[in-house]
Amino acid sequence: MRILIATGIYPPEIGGPAEYAKNLKEIWERQGHQVTVKVFSLFNFLPTGIRHLVYFLYILPAVWRIDFIFVLDTFSAALPTVLAARMLGKKIILRTGGDFLWEFYVERTGKLVLLREFYNTQITNLSFKEKIIFKLTRFVLNNVDAVIWSTEWQKSIFIEPYKLIRQRHFIVENYYGPKIVSREPEKKNFIATARKLKWKNVELVQKVFDLKEIVESGIILDTEVVPHDEFLNKLSSSYAVIIASLGDISPNTILDAIRCGKPFILTKENGLYDRIKDVGLFVDSQDSKDIKNKLVWLAKPANYEIQKEKVLNFNFTHTWEDIAKEYMAVYEQIK
């Protein structure tokens, strides 16, 4: 078949949609499909609205020639792609990623509101621009042929505010890869690679790492952002991983930590809990004392070995081939 992948980002850019676009393209091409990728970030130098119009014109010839479209966000690439698909009568499947509206709101206001609580407590406080984003995202989600979620957790948050009761929903879990060689750490470094965004909650985590008790335990925080292949190499020789964000739907860094056999501390506000609840430590991302206590506990060698053993014994895998197959099965149901 002829498939169009519309994505906000693509390697060497770093992020889940970039990895999805790259791997699905490679797999579907090996299977004999013709795959075209159109990347929205090429036009990020243009003002909002203008870049959406330019992207619409950019993808229109490709949309005309394909059998179905697979889009990897809910607003940037999605809005112009949905309009093109509806204009030309093409089937379109959307995979949700993060929550662009919530991220934008937290960054603008500085209010550290949990994703789980955002639509119940803050929706009346949106700016004019955010109200437009909200309405356009609702339009997008209601005008695709199917929505694919990586977790039931995100789906449950979105259903009511975006009026998706009648939409066709599918759950396809994230990528759980095979184990990677794990090397002994030379120091007690916690990997916390994250974009410098308020919802990532890095400022609070850094304050915890600056506490005297943490410093004396020998724990250090590593927030350096590097390309994914380099990141995996660094992760394999690290001590542990920490993510204490205000909401993480399906954090790839944690899945990479599991592949590398590394213990991790993760926010309770996540969509992976049901899958990984027996192998990780979970914290209240708004409670610095809870984060500190979990760090101190994991810094002790005996406790570290307990958590390491749990992670090493986690053997669930969900390959890119599995994901590509499941996405194609969704298409077969809607065509």
How far apart, in Å, do the first and last CA atoms of the chain sit? 12
**Structure-token match 């993760």, residue found:** 266
- The rounded distance, in Å, linking the Cα atoms of 121 and 159 is 16
Can you give the pLDDT at residue 193? 75
What does each of the 335 residues of the chain score in pLDDT, given as a tens digit?
999 999 999 998 878 899 999 999 999 999 999 999 999 999 999 998 999 999 999 999 999 999 999 999 999 999 999 999 999 999 999 999 889 999 999 999 999 999 999 999 999 999 999 999 999 999 999 999 999 999 999 999 999 999 999 999 999 999 999 999 889 998 999 999 767 789 999 999 999 999 999 999 999 999 887 777 788 888 999 999 999 999 999 998 999 999 999 999 999 999 999 999 999 999 999 999 999 999 999 999 999 999 999 999 999 999 999 999 999 999 999 98
For 190, the token pair is: 């916690």
pLDDT of residue 335: 84
The pTM of the whole model exceeds 0.85 = yes
Per-residue model confidence (pLDDT) at position 328: 95
Q: For residue 48, what pLDDT is reported?
A: 87
pLDDT at 137: 96
Q: How far apart are CA 268 and CA 22, in angstroms?
A: 30
Q: Give the C-alpha separation, 233 to 236, whole Å.
A: 5
Whether the ω angle into residue 17 lies within 30 degrees of 0, i.e. cis, is no
Return d(Cα 47, Cα 158) in angstroms, integer.
28
Helix axes 288-299, 202-209, angle to 10 degrees: 50
Where does the chain show beta strands of DSSP type E?
2-7, 34-39, 68-71, 91-95, 146-149, 169-171, 188-191, 219-222, 240-243, 264-267, 281-283
Check residue 12 and give its pLDDT: 86
Which pLDDT does position 16 carry in this prediction?
A: 84
All structural domains of the chain: 2-175+318-334 (3.40.50.2000), 188-312 (3.40.50.2000)
Contacts of 81 (CB under 8 A, 6+ apart): 6, 38, 56, 59, 63, 69, 71, 92
Asked if 264 contacts 280 with a C-beta cutoff of 8 angstroms, the reply is yes
